[in-house]
Amino acid sequence: DMATLKVAVRVHANSYAVAETMSSRLHIDPARIDVVNRGRGLRIESEDAVRRRLSVRQGLNLGPGHTVLLAVGRQEHQKGLDIALRSLALLRDRFVPATLLIAGREGLETRELDELARELNIQQFVRFLGHRDDVADLMLAADVLVFPSRREGLPGTLIEAMALRLPIVASSIGPVEEVIGEPGDVGIVFDVDDVLGLVAGIQATLDDSSGRHARTERGYQRYVQRFTIDAAADGMRAFYERAIAGG
């Protein structure tokens, strides 16, 4: 990277957080970096969404009235899945009949997460699904996206959740707020590692249907305006035009 940067005219980063970190780490003038976010091409008709929601729930033996939380991410410390497990235990203690689905490949914390689920006595209420190619369908089947990451580049999972109108409760780190905007506008945020904050965010989301609907609609509009394939393509075209013109 250091060698190629000596001849590169412009540098692309997929988020402002990545741009800030790498400009310092690789000694790049921030003025040479263009931020172009990732794009997604998710547009699903409401009738199809309902059908897919029911199909996934039936496949997982989850009834239509069951509360389903979804976390997406590999089983590593930075993803904060231990916080998701602890929040589920508290919710169950408060008589919220929730099940947590965790979609993501195994990692360095797989054993610790299994042990934590047993320690918290919630193993029957959490499903470690491993790597999945149908994350969009899982999102359609879920009631809340739980996103307790400690570090991220640009959280594509949040972009997909906004596109599919899935309510978001996420940790308040810079890349998260870069995607969802001001706290409370599109999703509810909580401090990193704050289990009680995550629980409160989940309960507020489940209890306030009008607020939940308003946030997901704003999230969908934000997705359309900033995170579609067309928006990403326009940004990359402008990036290459600047590079061709000499920066």
Would you say the pTM of this structure is higher than 0.95? Answer: no
Residue 80, pLDDT score: 98
Q: Given this model, what pLDDT does residue 247 score? A: 67
Question: Cα separations (Å) of 219 from 111, 155, 192?
Answer: 35, 14, 22
b/e sequence 81-104, b meaning 16+ C-beta within 10 Å: bbbbbbbbbbbbeeebebbbbbbb
The model's pLDDT over 69-92, given as tens digits with 9 standing for 90+, comes to 999 999 999 999 999 999 999 999
Tell me if residue 141 falls in helix, strand or coil: helix
- What's the mean pLDDT in 215-242? 93
**Confidence label for 184 from pLDDT (cuts 50, 70 and 90):** very high
pLDDT reading at 46 higher than 90: no
Does the pLDDT of residue 44 top 80, yes or no?
no
Determine the distance from the C-alpha atom of residue 50 to the mean position of all C-alpha atoms in its chain, rounded to a whole number: 21
**Contact between 75 and 113 (Cβ < 8 Å):** yes
Tell whether the torsion through CA atoms of 101, 106, 111 and 113 is positive or negative: negative
Percent of the chain whose predicted confidence (pLDDT) is above 70:
99
Q: What is the pLDDT, as a whole number, of residue 158?
A: 97
Cα–Cα distance measured from residue 120 to residue 97, given in angstroms and rounded to the nearest whole number? 15
CA distance 103 to 51: 21
pLDDT of residue 83: 98
Average pLDDT value for residue range 34-62: 87
Tally of CB atoms within 10 A around 213? 12
93 with 168: CB under 8 angstroms? no
The pLDDT of residue 7: 82
Structure tokens at 225: 């305006």
Instruction: Please state, in angstroms and as integers, the Cα–Cα distance from residue 115 to each residue in 90, 121, 129, following that order.
Output: 17, 10, 16
Reported confidence tier of residue 234, pLDDT bands at 50, 70, 90: very high
